[in-house]
Structure 1
Amino acid sequence: MKKIIVPVDFSDHSNYALEAASILAKKYNAEILALHMLEISETILTKGEVDLQDETVFFIKLAEKRFNEFLEQDFLNNVSVTPIVKHFKVFSEVNDVAKEHNADLIVMGSHGSSGLKEIFVGSNTEKVVRHADIPVLVIKNKPSTLSFDNVVFASDFSQESVTPYINACQLFGKLGSKIHLLHVNTPGDNFKSSQEIEQTVVDFLNKADGDLNQLEHVKYVSDYTVEKGVLNYANVAGADAIAVATHGRTGFTHFLAGSISEDIANHAALPVITFKIK
């Protein structure tokens, strides 16, 4: 891990994300790219060209001053931080910056106690997740420590989850993580027999790994909902983080074959890291 992007809006939660990124940066000798998206109002954009240039420069300079003050924090001591200010609040630009700088990870802060609508739908975090081609780590609390020694990768082991799984293995391999592969069986229309689940996992691992070496490490649990199964297992396994696959076009709303992954991100005290289904 060499470069970590942290979108900053000066909120407490973006501060938590910045602190989390600093922990990772110190541990892996990585650089932080602190990114502020400067939103230019419609009023300014409708002005004449000269006025627009003058006022845009003024707001950029003001943002840069506030940005530099925000970055003067003790936890960033001895960390390489590059501030980047973008002129317009277009969240696909976060992914553009990631591509331009060959970044490995995006770290974002998000609320986690007031329900789905207040967390992801229409939020900056969801918008970034939808556009990001690289993993996004969602932080909801002030981090005292940050570790990825034990990570639960929850999956339905569908064929479209192969790429997120491969990307997760690559990232967590670099971090020296132990990955717990988890399938949650639920009652109702999504219920599968043990034989059906095992065959799905066999097909998945054959395609993803080319072998069945990880088969003995797959855990199967039954619960009333996927999110309860994931959270309960993560607690039992002493997990440091939960990893999920997500569709770019719909954000968190369709992972694990249509299950409600928002509840995982909402109720988990643990960091949640997303890997895009392509």
Structure 2
Amino acid sequence: MFEKVLFPTDFSEVSRHALKNCIPQLFEVGAKELYLVHIVDITATDIEAIELMKIDEGELNRIAEEIRTKGIKVNPIVKIGIPSLEIAEIAQENNVDLVVMPSKGENILRQMFLGSTASNLVRATKKPVLVVKYEWDEEKEEIKCLSNCKEIFKRPLIAVDFSKCSEKVINAVKKFEELIEEVTLIHVVDYGKHEELEKNIETAKVKLREFAKFFKVSSKTEVLTGIASHSILGTALAKDSSLIVVGKKGRSVIKDLLLGSTAERVVRDSKLPVLLVPCE
């Protein structure tokens, strides 16, 4: 399991909901230590930043105490700086296993990948990022999580492209294999000439079965054709997956995302949690 978890909070309603519900559930299934991080944006003036830091330290420590009452080891950290870079640095310095990031609403990811703190964090960090989806419950008039965080890791759908990136994706999933009931491995053939399609599909099936051997749990494989993001999302629904796992490519991620990469489309359109695994 991902034992050391980092959660960056901005004290928003979604963030507080995640800390009250989702984060404790992750600790019920094996997480051991929480790094609770808040960054005071350096764009504030020096005086404002210092004053904000004192106020925010008090609030973060209060939240940390609440979480400790649930038996969770918490390390609250407040810093001044550029949020995405500071969070990525803290994750690296403390060698965390996972960064958990909640997202709300159908447009949040589009905004996120166009330059917000979250988008920059996804690009900057070398750690896996778990994006957990939230939306507004009209009936109850409150924020709700679209997943049971205690069951996120039970039925992962793993997208692989047979590159070196795929090995890192598999290794990331292996970290929580003890929680898995069944894995679904998917590869989408969206390359090659038309006359090569049948051969590419058969080759992919063989490779995918080899990847399945890395897991001791029950596994299924799916080789599909078409638009990769559509195939991944559709299969996740059909297989009743609890999580989608995809790799994200290094420094070019923002360019890729602006062009509409598979990872961006999956994260943007999925109502399931998405685990983004860095490939560099």
Superposed CA offset, 1:116-165 (max 9, x none): 532322122221111221210001213362211100011222x2323333
CA distance in structure 2 between the aligned counterparts of 1:20 and 1:260, rounded to whole angstroms: 26
Deviations 1:18-77 (A, max 9, x none): 332221112215211110011133532xxxxxxx6xx65433211112223444657972
Match of 1:79 among 53, 56, 72: 72
1:226 pairs, out of 225, 228, 231, with 228
Q: Where does residue 141 of structure 2 map in the other structure?
A: none
TM-score calculated relative to the size of structure 1: 0.79
Distance 2:91 2:194 in 1: 36
89-98 vs 102-111, which moves further = 89-98
Would you say the 8 A contact 1:153–1:244 is kept in 2? yes
Return the alpha-carbon distance in structure 2 between the equivalents of residues 175 and 191 of structure 1.
42
Distance in 2, matches of 1:74 and 1:212, equals 34
Matched, 1:88 2:81: yes
In the alignment, what sits opposite 1:136? 129
Separation in 2, partners of 1:240, 1:10: 27
Q: Select 1:63's aligned residue among 51, 56, 60.
A: 56
Match of 2:33 in 1: 31
Q: Relative to structure 1, is the Cα distance of residues 190 and 17 closer, same or farther in structure 2, using a 3 angstrom cutoff?
A: farther
Q: Are the equivalent residues in 2 in contact too, given 1:116–1:263 (CA < 8 A)?
A: no
Aligned position for 1:13? 14
The answer (yes or no) to whether the contact 1:4–1:32 under 8 Å persists in 2 is yes
**% identical aligned pairs:** 28
Distance 1:165 1:252, change over 3 A: farther
Question: Does the 8 Å contact 1:112/1:119 carry over to 2?
Answer: no
Match of 2:197 in 1: 193
How far residue 239 of structure 1 moved from its aligned partner, in angstroms, is: 0.4
In structure 2, how many angstroms separate the alpha carbons of the residues matched to 1:151 and 1:64? 37
- Please state whether the residue corresponding to 2:275 is helix, strand or coil: strand
C-alpha distance in 2 between matches for 1:118 and 1:173: 33
Q: Do 1:13 and 1:140's aligned partners in 2 also have CA atoms closer than 8 Å? A: no
Map Cα deviations across residues 157-201 of structure 1 (whole Å, 9 max, x no partner): 2x2323333322322325435321101245997996132133256
Give the gaps of 5 or more residues in structure 2.
Answer: 135-143
AA of the residue aligned to 2:22: A
Would the alpha carbon gap of residues 115 and 34 (structure 1) be closer, same or farther in structure 2, given more than 3 Å must change?
closer
Q: 2-side partners of 1:229 and 1:57: how far apart?
A: 49
2:138 corresponding residue in structure 1: none
Length-normalised TM-score, structure 2: 0.79
The aligned residue for residue 2 of structure 1 is: 3
Backbone CA RMSD of aligned residues: 3.4
Q: Is the 8 A contact 1:95 1:132 kept in 2?
A: yes
Of the structure 1 ranges 108-117 and 31-40, higher mean CA displacement relative to structure 2 is found in 108-117
CA contact (8 A) 1:26 1:79 kept: no
